[in-house]
Structure 1
Amino acid sequence: MRVSVNAVGRLKRGPERELCERYVERAAAQGRTVGVSAVTMSDIAESQAATVELRRADEAARLAAMVPDRAVTVALDETGRELASTAFAARLRGWLEDGTPDLCFLIGGPDGHGGEIRESAGLVLSLGRMTWPHGLARAMLCEQIYRAVTILVNHPYHRS
């Protein structure tokens, strides 16, 4: 299964990008033993449309274009479900066991996702009720993907 983190907003060089890259590399390396063939990150520029609704629609269309056929999507949204790390790992295991070819995490722009992204998502996920800058939210998601993989391979990184 290929795992991708697709986000609105360019992540500049700096500590947030370095954290993301570190966790993506670790998740890809550890994940091979359980069927995760790749972990990648990509982003698109924020929309410059005149209204919130037009920006959401533009960004949603461009994010959706990044999602391969038959992929399961996970939309990050403050209204989504909060999962413990072990429950998130169990979801990842389920997608692996179901033969899901691609798992795509979608992070919207400052105005949030267009409704079609949330409606078509296999899971709408929240990292918590607090609002986080996009760079930190991406880093936290990448860390949780890595943590989930380590749980699946019984690596001691996750201690609970």
Structure 2
Amino acid sequence: MNIKIIAIGKTDSAQLKELIDLYAKRIGFYVNFELDIIPDIKNSKNLSEAQQKDKEGDLILKKLQPTDVMVLLDERGKTFNSVQFSDYLQKKMNAGIKQLVFVIGGPYGFSDAIYQKAQGKVSLSQMTFSHQMVRLFITEQIYRAFTILRNEPYHHQ
């Protein structure tokens, strides 16, 4: 199985980017992994929230293959602890999914088209985090999940 993260907008913080890259590299030891960054929408100040979400949604949909399973990182999604998340990934792998795609939306969330196409929603927390922090948290949790599945000493309970 391949895992891909699609996110809107670049990571401004060099420290966050360095950590995201570290975990992305580590994930690569277990599965093919890709972080696909969609540039911020130009002239977004001239758009309504709905228009911005629609434009971002169109760009996200263009990045998907027909067989991709798209899961949104959404505050209203299912919550997991780390062991449960590792089980979730294992079930996805067992289902024979070619590519699992986690999507991090823009500042206003997702368009209706994205919600309709999504095959699941995962929440990292009930708290609100910057989209840049979410990238770090999901890459670290994917890495942690694989170490749990391989019974490696990274995760402690």
Which band: TM-score by shorter chain?
over 0.9
Counterpart residue number, 1:91: 88
Aligned letter for 1:90?
Answer: D
Alignment of 1:2-151 (within 5 A): 2-12=2-12, 14-29=14-29, 31=30, 36=31, 38-47=32-41, 48=44, 50-151=47-148
Distance, in Å, in 1 between the alignment partners of 2:25 and 2:85 is: 19
Runs of 4+ in 1 over 4 A off after TM superposition: none
Aligned letter for 2:77?
Answer: G
The superposition leaves residues 82-131 of structure 1 with CA deviations (integer Å, 9 ceiling, x where unpaired) of: 11111111111011111100011100000111122223222211111111
Q: Secondary structure at the match of 1:5?
A: strand
Distance, in Å, in 1 between the alignment partners of 2:64 and 2:11 is: 19
Q: Secondary structure at the match of 1:73?
A: strand
TM-score, normalised to structure 1, is 0.91
Quote the sequence identity (%): 31
Aligned letter for 1:126?
Answer: S
Q: Secondary structure at the match of 2:97?
A: coil
TM-score, normalised to structure 2, is 0.93
Among 142, 151, 154, the alignment partner of 2:151 is 154
Structure 2 residue ranges without an equivalent (≥5): none
